[in-house]
Amino acid sequence: MSPAMPGVLQDETVLVADPAEGSTLHNKGYFGEPRSGGGVALSLLEAVYLVETQRLAVTADGTTLPLRDLLRRANARVPAFEVRYLVYRDLRQRGYIVKESTPPIDFRVYPRGGGPKATPSRYAVSAISERWVFDLDALEAHVRRAASARKNLLLAVVDEESDVTYYAVRHVNPIGRAGREPGSRDAVAYLIEDRAMVLDEEPAHGLRANGFFGKLVGRRLQLSLLETAHLLRGGWIGVRRSDTNRKVTFAAVRAQARRLQPDFDLCLRVYDDLRGRGIVVKTGFKYGSHFRAYEGDPDRVHARYLVHALPGGHRGAWPEVSRAVRLAHGVKKDLLLAAVGKDDVRYLSLERMRP
């Protein structure tokens, strides 16, 4: 192995003054920024990586700094240095050219064989600790920023054992092929505690055939409270009490549902929106999500998505997101986070990937 190049620590950069050595670093790995007159200025991330790989020796005040001391100084001077460094190191060891970017995007990552001024960057990467808060609004802002620059956004989440997991994130526009209207308006559903029943066989089969609503149990159709509220508000069914046969308003159905399910209004917003997109929506209970979503006939195709409804401004924990992505991947479905805003519902796809 060639002798390590000398570099001098100056505040938050390391200067490699020798023009030939600086040119070698920059040309063979795009490390550092060239200086007028020769040499390169390295960031602390780059310097630590080069010291760790024995390509650089850093001095301060005439004394060589061991890696542990350089790391200690870097952690003291750069916020979240260790998390960012672990991601930088992992990407470099995968063979990528990595350049630091303007927060909240931490890195621009170039394809293997490419580099700055030679090829466009391939990924915009944000380094995250699993201990940090999952902030839905901030994530959406990251996605918009990456999309406006025509980059793929990767979230690099570092766990407590310093392993890095990558998630590709993007806004999606789910569209299905199912009919948006159930056809007949003569069905009557009888409301019981946490669901409703359509007892007349012909309307029951009509709702099932024309919109894949509910589940046929013998000759009757069982509707969830979400389906009941959606159909009642659209004027597609009437609802009556099963014990008194009295008519039930949409407000009464919603009030009963809210008592049983505190996030009912949130879920109904997403349910209505997906149905309006031609998506068939069924419960996602078995998969730990609000919904499973089909682009067509659920008797003929598998659900493409697992959908979890979240209010705008939601803040949570990254391990919860990791579990949801892992489960969706395990059953060969895409995870969608449905961000419910004041006037719309936006869908974020999260997919685990290997860059």
Catalytic sites, residue numbers: 294, 302, 333
Burial class (CB in 10 A: 0-12, 13-18, 19+), 311: middle
Q: Are strands 237-241 and 187-191 parallel, antiparallel or unpaired?
A: parallel
Query: Can you read off the two tokens belonging to residue 96?
Result: 């990528």
Q: What are phi and psi of 44, to 5 degrees?
A: -65, -35
Q: Which of 288, 287, 298, 285 is nearest to 176 (CA)?
A: 298
What strand order describes the sheet that includes 33-34? 33-34, 40-43, 13-16, 5-10, 56-60, 63-64
Cα–Cα distance measured from residue 203 to residue 205, given in angstroms and rounded to the nearest whole number? 5
**To the nearest 5 percent, what fractions of the chain are helix, strand and coil?**
35, 30, 35
43 forms beta bridges with 13
3-class DSSP assignment, residue 12: coil
Q: CB count, 10 Å around CB of 147?
A: 14
Q: For residue 308, which phi and psi values (nearest 5 degrees)?
A: -120, 125
What is the token pair recorded at 46? Answer: 């780059």
Residue 111 CA to residue 122 CA, distance in Å, equals 6
Q: Which residues of 78-100 are buried (b: 16+ CB within 10 A; e: fewer)?
A: beebbbbbbbbbbbbeeebbbbe
